């Protein structure tokens, strides 16, 4: 029975962390969409210094 209890606890933790991850992804998306980007260019990509949005420059 200890195994089942441990599994249930781990599943709840995983679900909680997945929910938190989704919330953070949405927050990051909002930050990046409202950022006044300052890009640095590297070969094949550019990255915003403020919000870390990365874009490929290979088209």
More confident residue, 43 or 3: 43
The pLDDT value given to residue 59: 73
Rg of the Cα atoms in the chain: 19
- pLDDT tens, position by position, 18-51: 999 999 999 999 999 999 999 999 999 999 999 9
Query: Nearest CA to 39 among 58, 57, 59?
Result: 57
Can you tell me the distance from the alpha carbon of 43 to that of 20, in angstroms, rounded to the nearest whole number? Answer: 34
How would you classify residue 44: left for phi > 0, otherwise alpha for psi between -120 and 50, otherwise beta? left
pTM of the predicted model, to two decimals? 0.72
């Amino acid at each position: 029975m200890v195994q089942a209890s441990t599994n249930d606890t781990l599943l709840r933790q995983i679900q909680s962390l997945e929910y938190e991850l989704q919330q953070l992804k949405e927050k990051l998306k909002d930050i990046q969409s409202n950022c006044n980007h300052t890009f640095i260019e590297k070969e094949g990509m550019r990255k915003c210094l403020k919000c870390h949005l990365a874009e490929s420059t290979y088209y």
